[in-house]
Amino acid sequence: MALQLVFLLCLIGFTSASAERKMVTTLPGFDGVLPFTLETGYVTVDKDSGTELFYYFIQSEGDPRYDPVLLWLTGGDRCTVLSGIVLEIGPVKFIVEPYNGSLPRLQYNPYSWTKAASILFVDSPVGAGFSFSRNPKGYNVGDVSASLQLRVFLRKWFTEHPSYLKNNFYIGGDSYAGKIVPFLAQKISEDIEAELTPNNLNLKGYLVGNPITGESIDTDSRVPFAHGMGIISDQLYKMILVNCGEGDYDNPRNTICAEALTRFNKVRRCVTRQNYNHSICAVFGNQFTAQGADFYLISLLSADRIDILLGSLQLLGQVHMGHVLYENCNHVPHNPSDYTAIRKLLKEEIGLGFSKNPPPRPPINCTASYSGYLTYFWGNSMVVQDALGIKKGTIHEWVRCHNGDLPYSEDIDSSIKYHNNVTSKGYRALVYSGDHDAIVPFLGTQTWVRCLNFSTVDSWRAWHLDGQSAGFTITYSNNMTFATVKVISISSFTASTSIATMSPWRLVPLVFLLGAWSSFSPCSHLATAAPPKLVTSLPGFDGPLPFHLETGYVGVDEENDAELFYYFVESEGDPGRDPVLLWLTGGDRCSVLSGLAFEIGPFKFVGEPYDGGVPRLEYNPYSWSKVASVLFVDWPVGAGFSFSKNPRGYEVGLGNVPASLQLKKFLTKWFIEHPDYLSNPFYVGADSYSGKIVPFLAQVISEDIEAGLGPHLNLQVHPPLDPALNAPDDSRLHWLVPLFDVDCNIERHCFFLLQQYKSYLSYFWANNDATRDALGIKKGSLDEWVRCHTPGLPSTNQDIRSSIKYHRNVTLKGYRSLVYSGDHDIVVPFLGTQAWVRSLNYTIDDDWRAWLLDGQSAGFTITYSNNLTFATIKGGGHTAPEYQPERCFAMIQRWISRNPL
């Protein structure tokens, strides 16, 4: 059908020109005159077939006389280079707003690479974007022939633009174009040596981003990458390694290997740029091959829609492969067995005329996908085509990418030898990778670069932007540099250069389900707690508090007059029935105000420069107090506002064991003073170092229950997030790259790094006299409040060497347990936590799968017998709710209600 269309087009009269140019001063959708110089045009690269490549040339916004000239190519299946202009490195980008039938609007991109270089964007190979051929046979090209046409293009273009011959010249491209760039560079270098280029083109080197090489390492590296990112389980990873070896995953060596790879990624290479239809049978099996009509429907779908459907049946398909932290905007049935729903989706799309184009509309919050969606309407506008100087009748329908409808030969089996050849001649090379790309993972790229066996000139180190790590880099001899590009910020899963747009959401701290006390006998010999204080307003918070807050002290060591301070936030839902959650904070005597104001509490600090007054507070819409009453305790003694009149009191509770027993005493006394909550389910939650305490405390309570001592708790355990175990593991050695910047210099007031700056603000808030009066802090009990202690108080005695045995003991008694980790926490990496959970050797009840929020993968989970669940949180850091409050809230809400993740 596509070839027939091209044949019809060739009957239309074309305007012929070898190298026609047009100066573009305005663009439809852009407000006003362009603030940069744009030239468009065509260059004939094959006279026999009438093949012409279209280009956009944007002159450097710096000093075009001396700045380099960069040729830029785009990857994909004949994807237009307009993607590079409006979605990547060009000076304009789309305003993401709902498409209403009018022309999409454009705005200036302040981070355009044209600030440093003149860029020649070329629609290549022929058939991409606005490039065309008069003869349908002209579309039959491949890696080699398309590269040679680019060489012709450059010769002609520089002949028409001789003023740029003296400028340094670089070739760049990403993804599939990364396979073309080094080959083209070699051909140009050979021409220079043979003096065939116009006045010796001033080639200096090339750069490639997340480049495909054609080698199996491109896709084989997805397995260790997915494991390192928490997308596949330890069990599946080891199954692949044992049964498939460490490479060539496109050709399973046995049945078990094939099954493991099918579970990992059902698409694999059988779905190529040219052969989508024939791979369907192998993927869907009898579910579709038995239904001829269904197979026919699939064959009519575009490639991206097939990827969407296949993606619903694989673990890797649960994430956005181009960036595993972005929203996966492919909305399909999430139940792999629901083929009826898939068939319904196919028929609906065919009926709507979406079998080819226009593309299906993604959700507006999927910014990157929606920008790509807008390109279709902009590129097909006749006003736009007139402004760009598009030849009439050459393009029936502009598409951003093709889907195998035009012939193409992938005849460069591997580009690695060309990298070696060109760099060995002394040309510069920059190979860079986004550290969250699952299409061509940086692990594979890093591997083949290292295998070139060049000596190291500058060893692996961080490279910085504005004082922060922007990625990691290594420089080899022969002028080759490899670099990773770190995620700087995520806002609605859209990369941004402003750290202020970070979404501090995700990862869930772990909660301990302790159930209601079935019976309780008051202990009259225990001293009662100090009278609590009802707090109706807080300094820095505008107006009365929209939640019920009580503060107070409970004595836990009468001999030394040691008292633990607490904040009790009553449930904003149904406090008469909702659970009561005890929350502990980790670190070296870190105040539980961290959990209250940075993680799960109902207020948080406003991130703004400190001006000497009381830092402002605002309401947190993802507070866990919406589903539970939360009892925040400054523990152990010395943390936050907890204190001891006798200095020995800071030593008695130093060990993990005595400090845990003080917590048990605290709970007993607190519930005596708050009998209305005795019938409510009781939970214990904690994060980081407190992860060692929770399972031990749960075991102590369970033993008291068995012995009939004290209050009989209906214990249902939920261990804490990223629990510290003090068990040796090498999980950090296998870690990839941390997500957020952590080395903020408070003295520089880097308030955009909100997590660090809000910690800074907490110091002034808690040491303010008005705050202390409002909270009911005892006069003289504390000279200076600090969020976490450093040397000054005696060091903690770590008398719980490992908490793993307590996890085992408690879960073997039938108590529920949920252990989950942020997949971007390098303090306690999820790989180590997953390893010790697996070492418990429980049978699997629900195998590794994605868990979802709003139709998107929020992480991966596996459930074992003995009510033990392990889960990862996609993009989560060490203290989960501090980075991902929305997802954390969703998880705790499900867990408390006993719904599956």
Write out the H or E segment, with its range, that includes residue 627.
none
Given a contact cutoff of 8 angstroms between Cβ atoms, the answer to whether 441 and 221 are in contact is yes
825 is catalytic: yes
- Distance separating alpha carbons of residues 248 and 250, to the nearest angstrom: 5
Given a contact cutoff of 8 angstroms between Cβ atoms, the answer to whether 244 and 257 are in contact is yes
Contacts made by residues 775-778, CB under 8 angstroms, sequence distance 24+: 775/533, 775/535, 775/551, 775/567, 775/641, 776/533, 776/535, 776/551, 776/552, 777/565, 777/641, 778/553, 778/643
3-state secondary structure of 340: helix
3-state secondary structure of 38: strand
Those residues with Cβ within 8 angstroms of residue 473's Cβ, 6 or more apart along the chain or in another chain: 458, 460, 461, 462, 463, 481, 482, 483, 484
Instruction: Take residue 482 and report the two structure tokens written for it.
Output: 């490899």
Helix 292-300 vs helix 339-351: crossing angle, to nearest 10: 50
Report, in angstroms and rounded to the nearest whole number, the Rg of the chain calculated over CA atoms.
31
Query: Which of 214, 189, 177, 152 is closest to 72 using CA atoms?
Result: 177
824 is catalytic: no
3-state secondary structure of 242: helix
Query: Which of 22, 412, 16, 388 is closest to 186 using CA atoms?
Result: 412
Marked catalytic residue, from 688, 690, 702, 821: 688
- The pairing of beta strand 203-209 with beta strand 428-434: parallel
Place of tokens 């093709």: 402
Residue type, 138: G
- Distance separating alpha carbons of residues 577 and 516, to the nearest angstrom: 10
- The pairing of beta strand 562-569 with beta strand 643-644: antiparallel
Those residues with Cβ within 8 angstroms of residue 859's Cβ, 6 or more apart along the chain or in another chain: 230, 820, 823, 850, 851, 871, 872, 873, 874, 876, 887
- Distance separating alpha carbons of residues 593 and 385, to the nearest angstrom: 59
> Could you give phi then psi for residue 70, rounded to 5 degrees?
-115, 120
Query: Which of 579, 625, 577 is closest to 600 using CA atoms?
Result: 625
DSSP result, 112-137: -GGGTSEEEEE--STTSTT-EESSGG
355 is catalytic: no
- Distance separating alpha carbons of residues 184 and 169, to the nearest angstrom: 13
The single-letter DSSP state of residue 451 is: T
Give how far Cα 597 sits from Cα of 126, 719, 844, Å.
Answer: 57, 22, 37
- Distance separating alpha carbons of residues 458 and 455, to the nearest angstrom: 9
Residue type, 698: A
- Distance separating alpha carbons of residues 535 and 744, to the nearest angstrom: 33
Marked catalytic residue, from 46, 405, 435, 825: 825
Residue type, 52: E
Instruction: Give the distance, in angstroms, between the CA of residue 268 and the centroid of all CA atoms in the same chain.
Output: 22
Give how far Cα 526 sits from Cα of 554, 699, 739, Å.
Answer: 11, 23, 48
Instruction: Take residue 453 and report the two structure tokens written for it.
Output: 């066996």
- Mind spelling out the 3-state secondary structure of 538-595? CCCECCCCCCCEEEEEEEEECCCCEEEEEEEECCCCCCCCCCEEEEECCCCCCCCHHH
Place of tokens 């596949």: 232
Active site residues: 688, 825, 878
